[in-house]
């Protein structure tokens, strides 16, 4: 752990004054090499020089030392599990006193503060009485606010915001949860959706809770589907694994009616499946997915757009958050052209070019794009 950060303080304050290492050395009465070693952390100034340095920079000795205890990841893990074990075996308040002492010592170690929030969220109910338990939840909120306010790590701040929301829910303050999670988009992630939906349910806003949950499920579903082609590309030397990926993916597509929800995602998967089976030496299986690709292209509803269905009947709010809305990102004529070219000009399908069925698929797509020959 690193507790004294005097090197960086000397560098920053010297540069603020616009002086060189040699200037500082002359004022303090040491060699330029000594100042250089202080700034690189190779050595510390003699304790007798600290008041002189602090006075020169017009700061306190504490500020000069920049005393800020920091714990490593293993240190934090070790302390977390020790306190967790103690909470299960000893009186709560006895362990909490040790907990508070550690907080004071490592108050500037934000990863530690975050894990201490997690620890207390999981053990506050061991305290005696509702009033005391609520005090502890407020303590967690206080720590979360500090992490968000004074820490530069957005990932850590987002986790703190989530814990903040959980504590507000436990305190039966759902309106504050909504205000917390919906007003500042910096912290709004899918991990907050369950907390936000619970808050809306507590407020009696069932439809709004449905919107949040459906939007989250839809987003996760699209993430899975969009990443499958890349996963397939890593499994080309494992035929059984590749086939399993394709089978599971198209089972999911059928289960959630993805063909209606997001036709483009399914088209990409059909092409990826076709390319995979060509690589695996199974052109018949490849043609099966290219037929599916062509059928989807030629039966698209107009206008082309991402849409919901009977299951996802509350996702309009999610779709409207897209920068271009739910409409297609390109003109429909360009989309039709690209659908044709994706099959005709894909080198993976060159070995299929002379097959009558493949030529038939191309003719269907050519008619669809409006260029009959």
pLDDT category at 105 given cuts 50, 70, 90 is confident
Q: What is the mean pLDDT of the chain?
A: 90
DSSP of 108-125 = T-HHHHHHHHHHHHTTGG
pLDDT at 305 over 80: no
What percent of the chain stands above pLDDT 90?
Answer: 72
CATH code for residues 73-204: 1.25.40
Higher pLDDT, 304 or 349: 349
| pLDDT attached to residue 372 | 42
Residues in the chain: 373
* Closest C-alpha to 268, from 342, 360, 361, 340: 342
CATH of domain 6-65: 1.10.260.40
DSSP 8-state secondary structure symbol assigned to residue 143? H
Closest CA to 115 of 81, 69, 68, 149: 81
pTM: 0.71
Residue ranges per structural domain of the chain: 6-65, 73-204, 214-368
pLDDT over 60 at 325, yes or no: no
CA–CA separation, 7 and 290 (whole Å): 64
Confidence of residue 324 (pLDDT cuts 50, 70, 90): very low
Q: How confident is the model at residue 317 (pLDDT cuts 50, 70, 90)?
A: confident
Mean pLDDT within 101-107: 90
């Amino acid at each position: 752990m690193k507790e004294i950060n005097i090197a960086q303080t000397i560098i920053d304050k010297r540069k603020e004054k616009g002086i060189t290492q040699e200037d500082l050395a002359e004022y303090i009465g040491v060699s330029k090499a000594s100042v250089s070693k202080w700034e690189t952390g190779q050595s510390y100034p003699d304790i007798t020089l600290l008041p002189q340095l602090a006075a020169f920079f017009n700061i306190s000795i504490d500020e000069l030392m920049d005393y800020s205890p920091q714990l490593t990841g293993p240190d934090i893990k070790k302390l977390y599990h020790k306190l967790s074990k103690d909470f299960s075996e000893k009186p709560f308040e006895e362990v909490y006193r040790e907990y508070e002492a550690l907080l004071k010592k490592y108050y500037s170690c934000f990863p530690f503060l975050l894990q201490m929030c997690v620890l207390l969220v999981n053990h506050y109910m061991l305290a005696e009485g509702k009033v005391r338990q609520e005090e502890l939840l407020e303590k967690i909120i206080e720590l979360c606010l500090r992490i968000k306010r004074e820490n530069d790590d957005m990932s850590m701040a987002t986790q703190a915001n989530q814990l903040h929301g959980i504590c507000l829910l436990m305190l039966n303050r759902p309106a504050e949860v909504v205000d917390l999670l919906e007003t500042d988009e910096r912290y709004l992630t899918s991990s907050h959706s369950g907390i936000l939906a619970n808050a809306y349910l507590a407020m009696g806003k069932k439809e709004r809770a449905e919107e949040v949950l459906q939007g989250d499920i839809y987003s996760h579903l699209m993430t899975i589907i969009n990443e499958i082609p890349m996963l397939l590309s890593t499994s080309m030397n494992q035929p059984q694994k590749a086939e399993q990926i394709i089978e599971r993916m198209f089972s999911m597509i059928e289960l959630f009616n993805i063909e209606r929800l997001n036709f483009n995602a399914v088209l990409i998967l059909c092409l990826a499946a076709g390319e995979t089976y060509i690589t695996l030496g199974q052109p018949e299986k490849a043609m099966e997915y290219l037929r599916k690709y062509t059928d989807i292209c030629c039966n698209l509803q107009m206008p082309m757009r991402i849409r919901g269905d009977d299951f996802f009947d509350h996702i309009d709010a999610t779709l409207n958050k897209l920068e271009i809305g739910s409409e297609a990102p390109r003109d429909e004529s360009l989309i039709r052209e690209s659908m044709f070219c994706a099959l005709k000009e894909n080198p993976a399908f060159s070995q299929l070019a002379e097959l009558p069925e493949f030529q038939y698929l191309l003719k269907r797509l050519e008619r669809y794009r409006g260029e009959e020959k």
